[in-house]
Amino acid sequence: MIFFSLLSLSATAQVINIEGKRFLNDTNGWVGNADFSFAVIQNTQQVLSFSNTLRVQYQKNRSRFILLNDINFIKAGKTDFVNAGYQHFRYNYKVHKLITLEAFTQTQYNPVLRLDFRYLLGAGPRFRLLKRPNARIYAAALYMYEFDDIKDDAADVHEHRISSYVTFTFNLFKNCELISTTFYQPKLGDAADYRIANDSSLEIHINKHLNFKSTFNLLYDTRQPAGVPSLVYNFRNGLSVKF
């Protein structure tokens, strides 16, 4: 598969959406994929680019285990334009066809946005609101403990939040799929401290060899570290060619 980037406005959100990274199969056993890339470009200055992604899922009856790893690094000369990564582990247990219990833990870093290290631990219920061949909607409200080590800030952050989200997948046409997840993460005891994030993608299957994909990521955080804008976003269009 060859990916041609047509437009990229670079910004990296700090709320990780795993919904688009779930495998939808319900059969027992392992499934996964891994991607790795490395590039060196030398012109007026040296540009280094590295990325690695890993998705592994194991299904056993009502239990599902998900492991994710994502690392991205782009450096031009002495400047880091992208330096971010996370590791995410999630356990799901289906107690009813409409209700699944989730528990997760995550480590994360993004020093470009002054986040040297973040640790998350959370759990709660996930609800299936709609499941049809051409549409799926889920919602969840999880408790989340958060620890943040902010760059150049002597005080570490310990917080308790609600991590709620609504996610949907719509097959608009036979060859067109829309996936969107919206998060709302208020701090317990301080309603003015919250995050809103959205992760959306539209994929059009032009033919059996060519896909068009448009993705949009947005984060609004009322309490970003000093020097980091409250609103960051990323918009990208691309073509995918399969042989």
- Given phi > 0 = left and psi -120 to 50 = alpha, else beta, which region is 61? left
Is pLDDT above 80 for 2? no
- Residue 172: per-residue pLDDT: 87
Neighbour tally for 51: CB within 10 Å = 16
- Residue 77: per-residue pLDDT: 83
Range among 70-74, 144-148, 224-228 with highest mean pLDDT value: 144-148
Is pLDDT above 60 for 133? yes
Q: What integer best gives the mean pLDDT of the chain? A: 87
CA nearest 204: which of 235, 172, 234, 182? 172
In the predicted model, what is the mean pLDDT of residues 185-211?
92
- Structure-block tokens of residue 38: 């490395």
- Given phi > 0 = left and psi -120 to 50 = alpha, else beta, which region is 192? alpha
Three-state helix/strand/coil letters over the chain:
CEEEEEEEECCCCCCCCCHHHCCCCCCCEEEEEEEEEEEEEECCCEEEEEEEEEEEEEEECCEEEEEEEEEEEEEECCEEEEEEEEEEEEEEEEEECCEEEEEEEEEEEEHHHCEEEEEEEEEEEEEEEEEECCEEEEEEEEEEEEEEEECCCCCCEEEEEEEEEEEEEEEEECCEEEEEEEEEEEECCEEEEEEEEEEEEEEEECCCCEEEEEEEEEEEECCCCCCCCCEEEEEEEEEEECC
Q: What is the pLDDT of residues 55-114, one digit of tens each?
A: 999 999 999 999 999 998 888 888 887 889 999 999 999 999 999 999 999 999 988 888
| Residue 209 burial (10 A CB sphere; 0-12, 13-18, 19+) | exposed
- Taking the model in full, what pTM does it have? 0.82
Is pLDDT above 90 for 9? no
Percent of the chain with pLDDT strictly greater than 90: 54
- Residue 83: per-residue pLDDT: 87
- Residue 1: per-residue pLDDT: 37
Cα atoms found within 13 Å of the Cα of residue 156, Cβ hemisphere only: 9
Domains and CATH numbers, the chain: 2-22+92-241 (2.40.160.40)
Residues with Cβ within 8 Å of residue 239, at least 6 apart in sequence = 3, 4, 6, 210, 211, 212, 213
Q: What is the pLDDT of residues 10-69, one digit of tens each?
A: 344 467 877 777 777 778 999 998 888 888 988 888 889 988 889 999 999 999 999 999
